[in-house]
Amino acid sequence: MDALDLQGAYVDLTTPHVADAMVRLGIAVRQAPPDVRPLWDDTHIVGRARPARHVGSVDVFLEAIERGEPGDVLVVDNEGRDDEACVGDLITLEIQRAGLGGIVIWGLHRDSRELRTIRLPVFSQGTVPAGPQRLDPQHADALTAARFGDHTVTGDDFVLGDDDGVLFLPLDRAADIAELAATIRDTERRQAIHMHLGTSLREQTRFTDYLAARERDGTTFRQHLRAIGGAIEE
């Protein structure tokens, strides 16, 4: 998928919908650490990953932007450090003006007021006032692979983020994931509508039938849901 196709396919999909779809498809769920949060509520970001491993200087970000394409998301590997901010207002503004879709940071940011004014989607682990006071050697793969928590992210991945967190997904499975996630979304919306109209979740999931099947042949709740087309746990 290109940038426009990604936007169209994922604009109304949440990270929970997508994570559930990945489980059903047998795709490893790679997610950012839970303290990686958007700077403001109701943030949604999707785009191809543009990795950048920070070593103390912003030149790696400028080079990543130079190599980037509209809609890409800068994925910053600062090793989850809590002693320095690696992204501020000028890099964020440069990324916005280059047409990239946003930034996710395994680390910290600063210039929060300015970033809220720029309004580019930014996810990070938090903020501190001080920038880097070091300059380490740049890794050979600094612009091709970013470590993010327990996961490695490359240009073969794309990023999806919202108020529930950030996912890293294989780009070559984007269409499959989106199709199933949309089905899960629609099923859950119908279930919620029925609940508002007076039909309980137990009734919709035929929970009494499930209890009988569990007693009779050991059926799990997920197996039961799959058989009736439910979408509660995955």
Q: Specify if 234 maps to a domain.
A: no
Please give the average per-residue pLDDT across 198-220, as a whole number.
91
Contacts of 28 (CB under 8 A, 6+ apart): 22
Q: Specify if 192 maps to a domain.
A: yes
| Average pLDDT value over all residues in the chain | 94
Residue 230 has pLDDT above 80, yes or no: no
Give the chain's domain count.
2
Q: Which pLDDT tens digit goes with each residue over 56-109?
A: 999 999 999 999 999 999 999 999 999 999 999 999 999 999 999 999 999 999
Question: Do 161 and 185 sit in the same domain of this protein?
Answer: no
Question: Do 96 and 153 sit in the same domain of this protein?
Answer: yes
Q: What domain range is 190 assigned to? A: 177-228
Question: Do 45 and 85 sit in the same domain of this protein?
Answer: yes
63/87 Cα distance (integer angstroms): 14
147/129 Cα distance (integer angstroms): 24
Please give the average per-residue pLDDT across 126-135, as a whole number.
94
Q: Specify if 132 maps to a domain.
A: yes
Question: Do 15 and 42 sit in the same domain of this protein?
Answer: yes
Length reported for the chain: 234
Question: Do 168 and 66 sit in the same domain of this protein?
Answer: yes
Q: Which of 59-73, 193-207, 218-232 shows the lowest per-residue confidence on average (mean pLDDT)?
A: 218-232
Give the whole-number percent of the chain exceeding pLDDT 90: 85
Q: What is the pLDDT of residue 225?
A: 84
Please give the average per-residue pLDDT across 112-127, as a whole number.
97
Residue 234 has pLDDT above 70, yes or no: no
Q: Which two tokens stand for residue 140?
A: 């050979």
DSSP state at residue 146: E
Q: What is the pLDDT of residue 232?
A: 56
Question: Do 21 and 51 sit in the same domain of this protein?
Answer: yes
Q: Specify if 95 maps to a domain.
A: yes
- 207-217 vs 221-228: helix crossing angle, rounded to 10: 130
Q: Which pLDDT tens digit goes with each residue over 158-174?
A: 999 999 999 999 999 99
Q: Specify if 233 maps to a domain.
A: no
Q: Residue 136 maps to which CATH number?
A: 3.50.30.40
Question: Do 185 and 217 sit in the same domain of this protein?
Answer: yes
